[in-house]
Structure 1
């Protein structure tokens, strides 16, 4: 299966991700590798938080019979629920869509 152009795989510096075999597998598929800075856990904090939420709220004890059903569930979770309906504490308990809408209505300083 070909990889989408410009695909970037970001990971921490775990030995499984840094291994020559893993790096070769990425390169063979045209996937660019990116790794966090050494000793800096803040590099992946936001995405780790998202995946924790995804696993807890969607994936926990869920069984997808096909790849297509998993893709549809992920799309529904991210595009319909997570971005449009789910309230985020980091955004003052509004959804990302509501936050962006409110932010776009704030006049810019001269």
Structure 2
């Protein structure tokens, strides 16, 4: 059986690209055949599935029976992921804590006032 390759013509067509340019929108389309284009997204989706939706997930209050259950678990996980999880590359502090410390260290430059 001859299989036709899947094409993303709707995203890479000239007309689509022209429309993006006309509207001042930058396309987030990677290069053709680059296996690493979606690596970050796939990694995050994998973490989400194993951490937020697994049966023993601390983000679940019970079985997922409705879209509301999934949305609530997702909100809880995203809040934890962005604000409370400890990250080894950040010195085992949360991303929110690291960001706060980073901006606290930044000293706004103030112009030197001279007397006339």
TM-based fold match above 0.5: yes
Gaps of 5+ in 2: 11-26, 57-62, 110-116
Deviating 4+ runs (over 4 angstroms):
none
Counterpart for residue 69 of structure 1: 69
Aligned equivalents of 2:39, 2:105: Cα separation in 1: 28
TM-score with structure 2 setting the length: 0.56
Q: Matched residue of 2:86: which SS? A: coil
Deviation track 1:3-24 (CA, whole Å, cap 9, x = no partner) reads xxxxxxxxxxx93x7376xxxx
**Larger % of strand: which?**
1
Q: Is the 8 A contact 2:53 2:73 kept in 1?
A: no
Change (3 A) 1:92 1:36: farther
1:18 aligns with 2:18: no
Change (3 A) 1:69 1:84: same
Gaps of 5+ in 1: 1-13, 21-32
1:71 Cα deviation from its structure 2 partner:
0.5
Equivalent in 32, 41, 48 of residue 38 of structure 1: 32
Change (3 A) 1:95 1:103: same
Q: Matched residue of 2:37: which SS? A: helix
CA RMSD of aligned residues (A): 3.5
User: Between Structure 1 and Structure 2, how many residues are aligned?
Assistant: 87
Aligned equivalents of 2:41, 2:102: Cα separation in 1: 23
Aligned equivalents of 1:67, 1:61: Cα separation in 2: 16
Radius of gyration: which is bigger? 2
